Structure 1
Amino acid sequence: MTTTITGSTTAVQGAMARVDSQPVSLGRAVKSEWIKWCSLRSTWAVLGAAVVGMLAVGLIIGFNTRHLTGNQDANDLASSAPLQGFFLGQLLIGALGVLFVSSEFSTGMIRSTFAAVPRRQPVLWAKLAVFFVITAVVMTIATVVTFLVSQAVISQSRPGFSLSDPGVWRYVLGTSLYMVLAGVIGGMIAWMVRSTPGSLVSFFALIFVVPQLFSLFGSTGKHIAQLFPSQAGEAFTVAQPEAPHLSPGAGVLVLCAWAVAAIVAASITLRRRDA
């Protein structure tokens, strides 16, 4: 009996010695988050809906403006017109950012994640990196294709715009950047709120409700509303944003400031609160 137990113990120890124990690193955390992204059908579904929404709105605008009439809005005829699907895209990408984070809290998987990565901060950076890269690539392709397809529809009936025209690349890449950063802000809100419904409500309030409330308070309120993400984004994604508005460069800086502030706040919250 002693011989059998000793032999079993030796076998277990030998098997454990062969296990490749690797330290936690940011690269391995990124790989883990990539696997989580790929395993969740909801992430691809929401991202796909954003792409389809962009294309659908672009085609509708192209079809409706292929003939010039006297009652068309100026923004519907501008070079940025086909990209107005970002009004829907910002909601979907923002919701995607929320779900990518909050889903782990709602299922309790976050405890396993933090057990595997006790320092926690690499989890935040890994999720941010995976989300940013995937959405940036996909939405940039979507905005370029949307612009080209819409202009192809328009050019069948009248002259349209091309990517080489002044300001077009700013609208195309700016639209993608705005949606991606809106998603980053949504994800950081989820790190702080940790509830999917609460995070979504907070995100929608920040993007839509609060700026509109400020706009009700005269010129001062409208100037304050410019400093919120949605109106800062419009400053560099729309050819003729509503007045008053920031300059395109200022709009980019304000939006990036919101994203950085959200990341810092989420990082601080993550260090101070338990899972």
Structure 2
Amino acid sequence: MTTATETRPRIPARYAVTGPKVTMRRVLRSEWSKFWSLRSSWITLVSATIVLLAFGIIAASVYRPHATHASGTPTDPVGLALTGASTAGLIVGVLGVLLSAGEYGTGMARSTYVAVPKRWPVLAAKSAVIGALVLVVATVTALIAFGVGAAVLHGDAIALNLGDHGVLPALLGAGAYLGLSAAFGVALGSLVRSTSGGITALVVIMMLLPALASLLPGSTGDKLKPYFPGNAGDAIYALHPASHSLAPGAGLAVFAGWVALLMAAAAIRLKRTDV
């Protein structure tokens, strides 16, 4: 007794059915869809916007020219308008962590990298989407906060207009800082691959690192502080940089360098380790 074995003709590779070619444009479109499909994404973005706008308006409203201001309190219209920039930067950094590390928690990362085997385009697209979106939203919000604050401070000695020297670059710098902060969070989340771990690392790097530097012997800590991510980022949108801080252009270069370094580390881990 013999068993008949069914044989199927082998389909030449040139006739095999393949999916759409993976292109950067398609990856960008996918990441854009992912962002808006998650409620937490736009809620976090709206929260950062509210913080930046509300803090700026409140700071301008409560400002009194003859009052004694604590050290570090802004005394110029741009500084008042951007009072909430550091807090907003932390929020959009958390947003970046959620977008990247969150996929590892849900298991979506595995499906994503099956669709995009090279992996690094996902990291680049995710950073580009959230970075560009935050850049635009934050810049518009900073301009609105300054406009409202300028109306409140009209007639005061510190009052400035948008066309005055350094005002517009500082407001645009705030948008750049927040956009880079979001990309920083994406890279950190992709590197750590844990939402809680990524957020913790973000807080330590952006807020606690300068404080820890003061424990270093001699003047070493003071020399290093301006080059830490948080301090370099704050310098980007300063109208009148402090004597111990970087100039806005230098701050932008240093902070962008930190983002690039973290991106490179995340890309290397994506290439060398499994999901």
TM-score by length of 1: 0.88
Q: Which residue of 1 aligns with 2:229?
A: 229
In the alignment, residue 222 of structure 1 is paired with which amino acid?
D
- Any residues of structure 2 matched to 1:1-275 within 5 Å, and which? 21-65=19-63, 67-72=64-69, 75-81=73-79, 82-155=81-154, 160-217=159-216, 218-275=218-275
Task: Please list the CA deviations of residues 213-265 of structure 1 after superposition, one character each: whole Å capped at 9, or x if unmatched.
Answer: 11233422111111111111222322345542122222111111111111111
Consecutive unaligned residues in structure 2, runs of 5 or more: 1-14
What's the CA shift for 1:269? Answer: 0.9
AA of the residue aligned to 2:175: S
**Contact preservation (8 Å) 1:227, 1:254:** yes
Query: What is the distance in 2 between the residues matched to 1:250 and 1:36?
Result: 34
The secondary structure found in structure 1 opposite 2:227 is coil
Aligned length: 259
Task: Give the drift of 1:77.
Answer: 2.3
Q: Secondary structure at the match of 2:74?
A: helix
The one-letter amino acid paired with 1:86 is A
For 1:39 and 1:99, the matched residues in 2 are separated by 13
Identity %: 36
CA distance in 1 between counterparts of 2:270 and 2:39 reads: 26
- Three-state SS of the structure 2 residue aligned to 1:22 is coil
Q: What is residue 12 of structure 2 aligned with on the other side? A: none
CA contact (8 A) 2:49 2:138 kept: yes
CA–CA distance in structure 1, aligned partners of residues 126 and 174 of structure 2: 22
Superposition misfits of 4+ residues, deviation over 2 angstroms = 72-77, 156-159, 215-219, 238-243
How many angstroms does 1:99 deviate by?
0.5
* TM-aligned CA deviation for residue 149 of structure 1: 1.2
In structure 2, what is the Cα distance between the partners aligned to 1:70 and 1:34?
47
Secondary structure of 1:226's partner? helix
Distance 1:205 1:78, change over 3 A: same
Deviation at 1:75, TM superposition (A): 4.7
Structure 1: state its 5+ residue gaps.
1-16
8 Å CA contact 1:216, 1:222 repeated in 2: no
